[in-house]
Amino acid sequence: MEHAKQLRASSCSSDKIQELDFHIQMILSSYEKSLSILQWTGIVTTQTPLLIAPPLPVSTGAPESSISVDENPKSIDDHQDFRYVSKKRKQMPTWSEQVRVSAENGFEGPADDGYSWRKYGQKDILGAKHPRSYYRCTYRLMQNCWATKQVQRSDDDPALFDITYKGTHTCNQNFNCATQPKSPEKHKFKKQANNPRTIQSNQMLANLQANLRVNTNDLDKKEATCSFPFSPTFSGFADENLHFQMSQVGDNLVGGYSPSFVSPTTPESSYFSLPSCQMNGSRRIHNVHHSESDLPDLFSANTSSTSSPIIGLEFPLDHVELDPNFPFDNSEFFR
């Protein structure tokens, strides 16, 4: 709408052609994203996934359960039937991490992973010394984000926490951040603003904004190139208070999968996912599994917008404010 308004306000002088073209492209891109969201909320496509990788957090507002491919897809109304949602949640992508916390820091639990969680239950687990805590996204109701996690202290090592994530965040953690109080969990551990990973992610975005330029100097000689500031190694992601280990899951490196990898405050930034990146200093992630039917639809949906002209780099990116919601949803962009 914003771009449409600007388009309407723009004059049609020849020097405005580029600006008009830019707004038109943005509008078209918005249409495509809207169509993608509609697909995710009930209409299933059967396109082949481009990547074997975790689902990318997106701000669709659609519950995770609707993303998964179902043999008999239900209508959107099914979200109102919680029991059915609960069933389908079994199909949510699930992965777990082991987080070690240094006792000298006085932390009573695993560090902030950048997301806002709300505890909704605790349960004594048979055979486990410590109870398991259940968390769901703070923005479940506001943004219909169905990500959950379970935290359980290890029996053998009290400083070790097993964290199981179910579902990916569809929320924008920046949403209403000015008025949204932080959860006590954050108060216990570390303010999100001071989270090194958050800072680094923001720096990465800043770097990207600073360095992501289209080299058009010798456009006639070669294809436009795009300088990319990311180092393939994200050792800086490890919180100094935490000792993370990285493992490989199956045949696929899972860098870019963990929510600790993506910008905590900007889930969309995972759109910059690097299919082959490595994380030397991140958490141990294991048991990555999700319903096999989840990914095809997800990626087909996500890549359905790859034809968006917005990535055509036909306009100067310098003029684009690269905020976390910038629709950089092109997995092929960084190939």
Partner DNA sequence: CTGATTTGACCGGC
Partner DNA sequence: GCCGGTCAAATCAG
> 266, 174 in Cβ contact below 8 A?
yes
To the nearest whole angstrom, how small is the minimum distance from the Cβ of residue 95 to DNA? 14
3-state helix, strand, coil in the chain (%, to 5): 30, 15, 55
Q: With contact defined as beta carbons under 8 Å apart, do 170 and 58 qualify?
A: yes
What residues contact 170, with CB distance under 8 A and at least 6 apart?
Answer: 57, 58, 59, 60, 61, 62, 63, 64, 143, 144, 145, 146, 147, 267
- Quote the CA–CA distance of 116 and 105 in Å, as a whole number: 21
Nearest-approach distance from CB 128 to DNA, in angstroms: 7
- Number of CB atoms found within 10 A of residue 12's CB: 7
The C-alpha atoms of residue 280 and residue 227 are separated, in whole angstroms, by 23
Nearer to DNA, 183 or 278 (CB): 183
- Residue count at the site for DNA (CB under 7 A)? 30
Q: Which two tokens stand for residue 86?
A: 């609960």
Q: Which stretch binds DNA (CB under 7 A): 18-26, 58-66, 125-133, 266-274?
A: 125-133
Closer residue to DNA in complex, CB, 57/167: 167
Question: Is 95 near DNA (CB under 7 A)?
Answer: no
Q: Which is nearer to DNA, 122 or 235 (CB)?
A: 122
Q: What is the dihedral of CA 4, 10, 15, 18, to 10 degrees?
A: -10
Among 18, 47, 81, 123, binds DNA (CB under 7 A): 123
- Under the criterion CB under 7 A, does residue 138 sit at the interface with DNA? yes
Angle between helices 17-40 and 2-9 in degrees, nearest 10 = 160
- For residues 37 to 76, the per-residue mask of contacts with DNA, x marking binding by CB under 7 A and - elsewhere, is ----------------------------------------
Compute and round to an integer the Cα radius of gyration of the chain: 21
- Give yes or no for residue 89 binding DNA (CB under 7 A): yes
By CB under 7 A, residue 86 contacts DNA: yes
How far apart are CB 309 and DNA at their closest, in Å? 39
Q: Which is nearer to DNA, 148 or 331 (CB)?
A: 148
Question: Binding to DNA (CB under 7 A): which residues in 152-191?
Answer: 166, 180-181, 183-185
Decide if residue 203 touches DNA (CB under 7 A): no
Residue closer to DNA (CB basis): 186 or 283: 186
Instruction: Select 107 or 117, whichever has its Cβ closest to DNA.
Output: 117
Contact by Cβ (8 Å): 301, 67: yes
* Site for DNA, rule CB under 7 A: 82-83, 86-87, 89, 116-127, 132-134, 136, 138, 148, 150, 166, 180-181, 183-185
